[in-house]
Chains A and B, each alone.
Chain A
Amino acid sequence: QLQLQELGPGLVKPSETLSLTCTVSGGSINSSSYYWGWIRQPPGKGLEWIGDIYYSGSTYYNPSLRSRVTISVDTSKNQFSLKLSSVTAADTAVYYCARHFVAHGYTPYYFDYWGQGTLVTVSS
């Protein structure tokens, strides 16, 4: 059974960089059928896609966050990571990592497996 687990600090100071890692178990990140993505959800609000990465390192980012986001992959550890710079209180959210299904030759489709999520609070 595929499992995804987000890890990282639960508290980040304003203007600093938020860093999270997602560890994938029960399956390989080295698959041509999936991208690996980050989605966030502010408390009591809806879902916002942040970005995706392929095992090769190819990425897609949300244009609204592109200037502050870096997503990387470490296939040797079966992990991928998120860095979000210059955070403010508006970046306080539950951050989810998820598997993003992709059909050959197309951009990713839907998210079929999700981690449990981790709350990151931006506060001094």
Chain B
Amino acid sequence: DIQMTQSPSTLSASVGDRVTIACRASQSISSWMAWYQQKPGKAPKLLIYKASSLESGVPSRFSGSGSGTEFTLTIYSLQPDDFATYYCQQYYSYSPYTFGQGTKLEIK
């Protein structure tokens, strides 16, 4: 299995801050990476695919980068609606598809 490791596990920030969440793959996955946002009691929502492509309707303050084994999700100018848990997912290998353990973004 390809292991996905996110850091940090928890992140405290304020409205207006810029935050970065990292995701490391246990082997190269090229750019086959997606990012999701999940709020309590809700399903995950796709934000980014192919490492840096913004899903339709997602605000431009969300940005993804990276390739190979190192990836980042950056949120520019945090908004109150952005406090949630974020997951990365690799789709380089379907055996199996794997997610990171999640990063909880909290209000400072």
Contact = CB atoms under 8 A, between A and B. Distances in A.
Interface in A46-78: 46-49, 60, 62-64
B63 interface: no
B46 A111 contact: yes
A46 B101 contact: yes
A109 to B, nearest CB: 5
A116 B94 contact: no
Given A60-B94, A109-B32, A47 B99 contact: yes
Contact of B97 (A49, A114, A117): A49
Q: Give the dominant DSSP class at A's interface.
A: loop
Contacts of A107: 91, 94
A108 B99 contact: no
B96 interface: yes
Interface string B96-108: 1111111000000
B62 interface: no
Interface stretch (B37-45, B66-74, B75-83): B37-45
A114 B34 contact: no
A116 B43 contact: yes
Contacts of B49: 101, 109-110, 112
Nearest to A113: B46
Given A47-B87, A64-B96, A111 B102 contact: no
A108 to B, nearest CB: 7
Interface of B: 32, 34, 36, 42-46, 49-50, 55, 87, 89, 91, 94-102
8 closest residue pairs by CB, A with B: A114-B43, A110-B34, A62-B96, A49-B97, A47-B99, A107-B94, A110-B49, A109-B91
7 contacts: A47-B102, A107-B94, A109-B49, A109-B50, A110-B49, A111-B44, A116-B43
